[in-house]
Chains A and B, each alone.
Chain A
Amino acid sequence: MTKKKKSIISDQRFIVLLVIIALSAIFSIMSKEFRQYTTLLSMLDFSYYDLLMAIGVTFPLITGGVDLSIGTGMVCYALIAGTMVRSHGWPVAAAMVLCLVLGIAIGALNGVLIGIMNLPPFLATLCTCMITRGAGSLCSATPWPGLTQDGGWFHTIFKITVGTGRSASRYPIGFLWMIILVLLMEFVLNHTKFGRYTIAIGSNKEAAALSGINVKFYHVMVYVVCGLFVGLAAIAYAAVTPTVQPGTGAGLEMDAIGGVFVGGVAATGGYGSVIGTFVGIFVIMLLKTGLPYVGLQANWQQIITGLVLIIAVLIDIIKEKKKAAM
C-alpha cells in the first residue's frame, strides 16, 4: 500500500495539477479581473485548439519524434476550408470534413517521410511546417461564418449560448468533448495495439521490428493520428478566431509541444500519457491567460513558454539521470 501512495505523489501529473492550482491562486489573488467567469470562459475557448494539437502531437513525441507542422498546418487547413465556405459556397459541415482530410493527408506525408523514408522527424516536419505555411499564405484572410450567420451552428460545438445580449449565459460544452477525447486517447494509448506499438517504437524500435510488428505502418499511423487531431484543432481554431490570417501559425506548435512536455512525456520517447498532456496544456493556458492580468504584456508569453519548455524537459532529463544512477 505504501508503494501506491508514493507513486501518486511522484506522479508528474499530480505535481502539475498542484502547479495549476498554485498558478490559479496566484493570479486570482493578484488580479480581480482574473477571477471572473468570463476569463475562465475565454481561457477555455482558446484552450481547445491547443489541447487538440497537443493530444495529437503526444503520439509522435512518445515515439521519440516530433511534429513541428501542427501550428502552421492548423492555420493552413482553417484557411483553405474557410475559403471554400466563403468563395465556393461549401456548407460548413463539408469544410469541417475538409479540415480533417487535409490534416490526415499532411499527417500521412509526415509519416511517410519519417517512418518510411527515415528523415529526421524535426527536419521533415520543419519542411512540412514551411510548406503548410506557404500554402496557407496563398489564401486570403478568411472569416468563417460568425455565430449568428448562416453556418454559424458549428460554434455551438464548443460553446452553447442561451439567451441573448448581456443576459446570455454561455456554457463551455467544448470542455466536455475535450475530456471525452482525452479519456478516449488515453484508452487508445494504453489499451490498443496502436498505442502499445507507439510506445514500443519510442522505447526500442529495433526490438519492435524483430517482434514482427509492421513498424513502418504504425510509425506512419502515429503521424496520421496526429494530423487528424490537427484537423480537429483547425475547426476549434476557426471557431475562436474571427478572421484566420494567412502566414500565421508559426509558434503555435510551441504551446502544444510545451504542454505535452509539462505533462511528462519523456524527452527521448517511450513514455507519456494523454491525461498528462491535458493537465500540461492548462499550465500553458493559465500562463497565457494570467500573465497579462499581472502586467506582463503578450510578448512575454513567448519567452516564458520557451523557458517552460526547457524546464519541463530538463526535469525529465534530471529524473532519468537519477533513475540511471540508482
Chain B
Amino acid sequence: MGDVILTMKDIDKSFPGVHALDHVNFEVRRGEVHALMGENGAGKSTLMKVLTGIYQKDSGSITYKGQEVAFHNTREAQDNGVVIVHQELNMVGDLTVAQNIFIGREPKKGIRVDDKKMIEDSKKLFKDLNIEIDPREKMSNLTVGKQQMCEIAKAISHKAEVIIFDEPSAALTEKEIADLFVIIRDLREKNLGIVYISHRMDEIKVITDRVTVMRDGGYVGTLITKDSTKEDIINMMVGRVIYEDPKEHSMVAPDAPVVLKVENLNAGKMVQDVSFELRKGEILGFSGLMGAGRTETARALFGADPKQSGKISIMDKQSGQLKEVTINSPQDAVKYGIGYLSEDRRRYGVVVQKSVNENTTLATMEQFTSGIFINKAKEKEVSEKYIKELATKTPNGDQLVVNLSGGNQQKVVIAKWLTRDSDILIFDEPTRGIDVGAKNEIYKLMSKLAAEGKSIIMISSEMTEILRMSDRIIVMCEGKVTGNIDISEATQEHIMDKATRNIN
C-alpha cells in the first residue's frame, strides 16, 4: 500500500426528508483495493456520487492528491482521474462499443470523428484486459456481462488514478468475476487506488485490502481485511447481531397440495423450458446471478411479458384440483389469484403520486364500486385495516405514497394483493432498498403469510435471504432451471455451483 491519494472527511449530504450522508470519512491509498460496504441504502452509492460530482456535498472536504477538490460533474472528475464504473450500466445502446468507450472525448480528424483510431484504441484496451469484444459491435447487442467489461475498459482508458467499482460482480458469471479480479489486481500493481463496492462477503475477503463500513448514512469504521472476520464486518453493517441462521428444514406440511405448476415455460432468451411446482404454504426461493432470467420468468408467468409456450396449471379453489389456465395478461393472472410485487416498486409497484388508499384498492376496484361510483368510505376502512395489520408507518390513508419509506411502500403493495385475497404471491427482491429494521418486518410478514396458507415465490439475489426464508430453492442460470434444492440440503456453495452451471 502506498501513500494516501484520496481523503473524504466529514462529508454531509441531505436530500429533502433524508439525511443521506452524516459526516462520513473515507480514504483510499495508492495500490490498495478498498471495500466500501453497507446494507442497501447505507449511503455507499451516494458517497461515491458526491465524490464524482454527480451530487454536491453540503459540507466536509475532499482531498485528492494533496489538494482540496470539488468536482462539479463526472466530466471534471474523469479529467482528473477519478472514474466510476456504475452499477446501472450507462451505455448508449444505439452506438457501437468503441463509440461508447470514447463518448465525450472522441479523437478528431479535421471535423470528423476518427472512428478508425477509436476502434484501434479500443482493441488495444481490450487486449490489455484480455477481453474479446468487437469494438464495432452495437452496444445493445452485447450481453450484460460484456457491457460491464466495456464499462470497465472505458474507465481504465481515462488514465484513471482512482477507480470506483460499484457492485461490478452483480451481473457477472464466475469466470467473468475471475477475469475481473485479475484486472483489478493488475491495476493495484500499477499503483492505482481502487474502491470496491459489493455485497458479497467472499469477494471482499479475496480481493480487498481494507474495508470501510457504512450504516444508515453514517461512517461506522474501517478494518484491515485480512485481520478481520466475516462476522466482524456483518456486525458493523447491521449494528446489532440480527444475522439469523438459515432455515434448517422446510416448514411446508409433507401433504401440502401443489397450487401452481409451470411446465416448459418459454419466453424469449431469458426463459427457456422453465418448469417448477409451488405448494400451498411454501416459500419457493429463486436464486441465480443477475440476468439469470428469474424476473423474466416471473413476468412471463404473470402475463406481464409475452411468452412463446408453456403450460401453467393452478389449483382450482372449489375442487382443489390443478387446472390448466391461460395467462396472457396481468389481468388473467390476477383473476387466477396471482399477485406480483416487483423489485422496482417505484416503477412497477406503486403509483407514487397517489394516496395509500388509492394504491391499496388498485387491483380490487370492483369491490369498492357500486355502479361506476367509488365507495370512498369503504375504501378508507379497508385500507386503514391493512395499515394497522401490516404496521405501515403513515399518518393516514390519504398520505401520498411518494412520502413513505421503501419498506412502507412495500407494505402498501402487499396490502394491495391481500385486498385481492391472492393465494400466490411473487416477491421479486422483496427487501431491495429497504433498511435493516424494516427488512426483518417484511421477513416476518412473509413467514406469517406462508403460515396462513399463502404460497410465495421469492426472487432474491441475497444469499442470506434465500437461505433464511426459502423452504425450497430453484436455481436458474442463463434462462434455464439448473437446480431444485430442498432447504435442508442447501448451502451457499451448492447454490453458487448450480447458478454458474451453464457457464463455461
A and B touch in the complex (CB under 8 A): yes
Q: In the complex, which residue of chain B has the Cβ closest to the Cβ of A324? A: B268
Instruction: Decide yes or no whether B205 CB sits under 8 A from chain A.
Output: no
Q: Which secondary structure dominates where chain A touches chain B?
A: helix
1/0 per position for B78-93, CB-CB distance to A under 8 A?
1100000010001111
A203 and B94: CB pair below 8 A?
A: yes
Determine how close the nearest CB of chain B comes to the CB of A281; give it in whole angstroms: 23
Given A203-B94, A206-B90, A325-B268: A212 touches B73 (CB 8 Å cut-off):
yes
Instruction: Decide yes or no whether B167 CB sits under 8 A from chain A.
Output: no
**For residue B95, which residues in chain A have a CB less than 8 angstroms away from its CB?**
196, 199-200, 203
**For residue B105, which residues in chain A have a CB less than 8 angstroms away from its CB?**
212
A196 and B106: CB pair below 8 A?
A: yes
**For residue A200, which residues in chain B have a CB less than 8 angstroms away from its CB?**
92, 94-95, 103
Query: Considering the chains assembled together, what is the distance between the CA atoms of A191 and B113 in angstroms?
Result: 5
Instruction: Decide yes or no whether A202 CB sits under 8 A from chain B.
Output: yes
A270 and B113: CB pair below 8 A?
A: no
B106 and A193: CB pair below 8 A?
A: yes
A203 and B92: CB pair below 8 A?
A: yes
Residues of B within 8 Å of A, CB-based: how many?
27
Query: Considering the chains assembled together, what is the distance between the CA atoms of A193 and B105 in angstroms?
Result: 9
List the interface of chain A (C-beta within 8 A of B).
Answer: 187, 191-193, 196, 199-200, 202-204, 206-208, 210-213, 270-271, 325-326
B112 and A191: CB pair below 8 A?
A: yes
Q: Which residue of the partner chain, among B86, B104, B306, contacts A212 with CB atoms under 8 Å? A: B104
List 10 A-B residue pairs with CB atoms under 8 Å apart, sorted by A's residue number: A192-B113, A193-B106, A196-B99, A199-B92, A199-B94, A204-B90, A207-B91, A212-B74, A212-B79, A326-B268
Q: Which residue of the partner chain, among B92, B108, B111, B268, contacts A207 with CB atoms under 8 Å? A: B92
Instruction: Decide yes or no whether B115 CB sits under 8 A from chain A.
Output: yes
Query: Considering the chains assembled together, what is the distance between the CA atoms of A202 and B94 in angstroms?
Result: 9
Query: Considering the chains assembled together, what is the distance between the CA atoms of A271 and B96 in angstroms?
Result: 13
Which 5 A-B pairs rank lowest in CB-CB distance, beginning with the nearest?
A212-B75, A203-B94, A207-B90, A212-B104, A270-B94
A192 and B111: CB pair below 8 A?
A: yes
Give the total number of A-B pairs whose CB atoms are below 8 A apart: 65
A270 and B74: CB pair below 8 A?
A: no
Supplied contacts A193-B106, A196-B113, 7 more A-B pairs, CB within 8 Å: A191-B113, A192-B112, A196-B106, A200-B94, A203-B92, A203-B93, A211-B74
Query: Considering the chains assembled together, what is the distance between the CA atoms of A213 and B99 in angstroms?
Result: 13
Instruction: Decide yes or no whether B183 CB sits under 8 A from chain A.
Output: no
**For residue A271, which residues in chain B have a CB less than 8 angstroms away from its CB?**
94
Instruction: Decide yes or no whether B54 CB sits under 8 A from chain A.
Output: yes
List the interface of chain B (C-beta within 8 A of A).
Answer: 54, 73-76, 78-79, 86, 90-95, 99, 103-106, 108, 111-113, 115, 268-269, 306
Query: Considering the chains assembled together, what is the distance between the CA atoms of A193 and B107 in angstroms?
Result: 10
Query: Considering the chains assembled together, what is the distance between the CA atoms of A310 and B93 in angstroms?
Result: 26
Q: Which residue of the partner chain, among B79, B90, B91, B306, contacts A325 with CB atoms under 8 Å? A: B306
**For residue A210, which residues in chain B have a CB less than 8 angstroms away from its CB?**
54, 74, 86, 90
Q: In the complex, which residue of chain B has the Cβ closest to the Cβ of A200? A: B92
B90 and A211: CB pair below 8 A?
A: yes
Query: Considering the chains assembled together, what is the distance between the CA atoms of A202 and B93 in angstroms?
Result: 10
Query: Considering the chains assembled together, what is the distance between the CA atoms of A270 and B138 in angstroms?
Result: 12
Q: In the complex, which residue of chain B has the Cβ closest to the Cβ of A266? A: B94
Q: In the complex, which residue of chain A has the Cβ closest to the Cβ of B75? A: A212
**For residue B268, which residues in chain A have a CB less than 8 angstroms away from its CB?**
325-326
Q: In the complex, which residue of chain A has the Cβ closest to the Cβ of B154? A: A211
A204 and B91: CB pair below 8 A?
A: yes
**For residue A211, which residues in chain B have a CB less than 8 angstroms away from its CB?**
74-75, 90, 103-104
B93 and A270: CB pair below 8 A?
A: yes
Query: Considering the chains assembled together, what is the distance between the CA atoms of A91 and B112 in angstroms?
Result: 36
Query: Considering the chains assembled together, what is the distance between the CA atoms of A325 and B296 in angstroms?
Result: 12
**For residue A203, which residues in chain B have a CB less than 8 angstroms away from its CB?**
92-95
**For residue A196, which residues in chain B have a CB less than 8 angstroms away from its CB?**
95, 99, 103, 106, 113
A191 and B115: CB pair below 8 A?
A: yes
Query: Considering the chains assembled together, what is the distance between the CA atoms of A245 and B26 in angstroms?
Result: 69
Q: In the complex, which residue of chain A has the Cβ closest to the Cβ of B112? A: A191
Determine how close the nearest CB of chain B comes to the CB of A229; give it in whole angstroms: 18
**For residue A193, which residues in chain B have a CB less than 8 angstroms away from its CB?**
106, 108, 113
